[in-house]
């Protein structure tokens, strides 16, 4: 018998009352509708033994079919029509469907089994219904699965796109990082190179601290440069002897010997005379005397040729000479009044007064710092 809150094995609905049957074979519980039993039969006709031995449609369909050869045949009754549409039985005549015309029991004949066939049909219909429900549920699940797969595919495509985008960004960042690292390394290397160049230039300039340059002295064939050096020093008021001179030479490209004429403007510019002194004190004395006697000429020196203005300056390296020339050009363009050298160093000052401090020029960056990038432009320092 059924119990409260049990589920029907046919419709899977809850059985809220005791109107149910339990299969004696599979022990599944069915309500009266799925068991195909009316309430009148359940309460009035079916006994307790009948209810206990009741089997469901599925269990009944699984039983093997048996022949009905031993089923007794009822005798034919008079005035009873066995078949629809049969003629009326006349007395003394054997009808077509009389017992004599029917096949015997021992022959192979088909006899209607009644309740067994009905149970088989119900079982088949129930199985078809269950199959259709399962197919509908399968189709629903397949539809849900297809939707899930489509959503999963869409999400996977989105993830692939995001991964590709992230990969591209990572590669871009790596390239930028590498390029920045290379740029920083290159900038650092270039800075180190420029610093080394500046230090080497300073070292070279230190080697020229005992040297002076004399310009404006006409070059002759067979001239005596030590005599000219001592004569110019005497003109400036500084006495030099042969022991004070380490070396005296002309520097620059060799030119043809000059011929004196009344037009001195036609003469080419003579080469510089470089004098290396044994003591720095003598160098400083000559430079100081040259500043005092600015504009002196070769008159009364006994040097051949017409009187010429000569100039005594410090000897600078090639880099410092170029920087000094550029500094003078920029100072003249922007009205900076003072440009000079001291100890091989280049200085510039805008005007008089203690507020205008001198600015030292060592590299082109100093020109940019003092005169501005717009003034200097993109001119690069080059050796002459």
pLDDT tens sequence across 289-321: 988 888 888 888 888 888 888 899 999 999 999
If pLDDT is split at 50, 70 and 90, which confidence band does 248 have?
very high
Give whichever of 117-126, 150-159, 343-352 has the largest mean pLDDT: 150-159
If pLDDT is split at 50, 70 and 90, which confidence band does 73 have?
low
Reading the block at residue 45, the tokens are 């006709």
The Cα–Cα gap between 238 and 217 comes to 18
Within-domain flag for 370: yes
Q: What pLDDT, in 10s, does the model give residues 79-124?
A: 555 554 444 444 444 444 444 444 443 444 334 445 566 777 788 8
Within-domain flag for 381: no
Within-domain flag for 168: yes
Residues with Cβ within 8 Å of 270's Cβ and at least 6 positions away in sequence, in order, are 215, 216, 217, 218, 219, 255, 258
Same domain, 287 and 367: no
Same domain, 49 and 143: no
The Cα–Cα gap between 148 and 154 comes to 10
Same domain, 215 and 310: yes
Instruction: Say what the pLDDT of residue 101 is.
Output: 41
Same domain, 149 and 231: no
Q: What is the DSSP letter of 342?
A: E
The residue that leads in pLDDT, 157 or 2, is 157
**Does 46 have pLDDT greater than 90?**
no
Same domain, 295 and 246: yes
Instruction: Say what the pLDDT of residue 173 is.
Output: 87
The Cα–Cα gap between 168 and 184 comes to 24
Same domain, 166 and 238: no
Instruction: Say what the pLDDT of residue 93 is.
Output: 44
The Cα–Cα gap between 377 and 384 comes to 19
Same domain, 372 and 327: yes
**Does 326 have pLDDT greater than 60?**
yes
User: In 274-306, which positions are buried (b, 16+ CB within 10 angstroms) versus exposed (e)?
Assistant: bbebeeeebbbbbbebbeeeeebebeebebebe
User: In 102-137, which positions are buried (b, 16+ CB within 10 angstroms) versus exposed (e)?
Assistant: eeeeeeeeeeeeeeeeebbebbeebeeeeeeeeeee
Same domain, 225 and 288: yes
250 sits in which H/E element: strand 245-251
If pLDDT is split at 50, 70 and 90, which confidence band does 55 have?
confident
Within-domain flag for 383: no
Residues with Cβ within 8 Å of 333's Cβ and at least 6 positions away in sequence, in order, are 375
**Chain centroid, CA 57 distance in Å:** 70
- What is the domain extent for residue 42? 1-60
**Does 350 have pLDDT greater than 70?**
yes
Within-domain flag for 177: yes
Neighbours of 145 (CB within 10 A): 10
Within-domain flag for 88: no
| Number of domains the chain contains | 4
**Does 31 have pLDDT greater than 80?**
yes
- The CATH number given to whatever domain includes residue 227 is 3.30.70.1820
Same domain, 217 and 298: yes
- The long-range contacts involving 102-107, CB below 8 angstroms and separated by at least 24 positions, are 105/69, 105/73, 106/69
What's this model's pTM, rounded to 2 decimal places? 0.49
The Cα–Cα gap between 162 and 169 comes to 10
- CA distance to 152, 323, 329, 330, 358, per residue, from 350 (Å): 77, 17, 13, 11, 8
Same domain, 218 and 281: yes
**Does 217 have pLDDT greater than 60?**
yes
Same domain, 165 and 191: yes
The Cα–Cα gap between 85 and 260 comes to 167
Question: In 3-state terms, what secondary structure has residue 302?
Answer: coil
The Cα–Cα gap between 2 and 70 comes to 37
Mean pLDDT of the chain: 78
Q: Tell which of 41, 60, 79 closes a domain.
A: 60
Instruction: Say what the pLDDT of residue 69 is.
Output: 58
Within-domain flag for 131: no
- CA distance to 68, 77, 101, 126, 224, per residue, from 81 (Å): 23, 9, 14, 36, 172
Same domain, 191 and 170: yes
- CA distance to 24, 203, 360, 362, per residue, from 198 (Å): 112, 9, 13, 7
Residues with Cβ within 8 Å of 75's Cβ and at least 6 positions away in sequence, in order, are 99
Neighbours of 326 (CB within 10 A): 18
Within-domain flag for 221: yes
């Amino acid at each position: 018998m059924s119990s409260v809150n049990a589920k029907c094995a046919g419709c899977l609905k809850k059985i809220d009352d005791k109107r149910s049957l339990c299969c004696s074979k599979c022990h599944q519980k069915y309500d009266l509708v799925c068991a195909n039993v009316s309430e009148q039969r359940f309460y009035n006709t079916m006994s307790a033994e009948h209810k206990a031995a009741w089997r469901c449609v599925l269990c009944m369909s699984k039983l093997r079919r048996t022949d009905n050869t031993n089923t007794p045949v009822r005798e034919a009754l008079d005035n009873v029509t066995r078949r629809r549409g049969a003629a009326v039985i006349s007395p003394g005549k054997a009808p077509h469907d009389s017992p004599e015309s029917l096949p015997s029991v021992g022959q192979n004949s088909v006899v209607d089994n009644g309740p067994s066939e009905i149970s088989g049909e119900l079982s088949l219909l129930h199985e078809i219904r269950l199959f259709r429900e399962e197919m509908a549920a399968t189709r629903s699940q397949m539809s849900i699965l297809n939707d899930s797969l489509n959503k999963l595919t869409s999400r996977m495509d989105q993830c692939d796109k995001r991964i590709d985008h992230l990969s591209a960004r990572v590669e871009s960042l790596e390239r930028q990082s590498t390029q920045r690292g290379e740029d920083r390394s290159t900038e650092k290397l270039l800075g180190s190179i420029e610093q080394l160049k500046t230090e080497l230039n300073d070292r070279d300039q230190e080697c020229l601290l005992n040297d002076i340059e004399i310009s404006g002295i006409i070059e002759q064939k067979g001239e005596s440069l030590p005599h000219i050096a001592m004569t110019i020093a005497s003109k400036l008021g500084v006495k030099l002897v042969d022991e004070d001179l380490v070396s005296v030479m002309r520097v620059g490209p060799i030119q043809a010997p000059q011929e004196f004429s009344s037009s001195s403007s036609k003469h080419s510019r003579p080469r510089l005379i470089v004098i290396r002194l044994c003591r720095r004190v003598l160098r400083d004395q000559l430079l100081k005397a040259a500043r005092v006697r600015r504009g002196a000429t070769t008159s009364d020196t006994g040097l051949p040729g017409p009187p010429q203005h000569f100039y005594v300056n410090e000897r600078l390296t090639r880099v410092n000479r170029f920087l000094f020339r550029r500094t003078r050009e920029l100072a003249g363009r922007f009205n900076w009044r003072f440009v000079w050298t001291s100890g091989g160093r280049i200085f510039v000052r805008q005007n008089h007064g203690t507020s205008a401090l001198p600015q030292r020029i060592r590299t082109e960056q100093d020109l940019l710092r003092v005169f501005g990038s717009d003034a200097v432009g993109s001119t690069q320092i080059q050796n002459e």
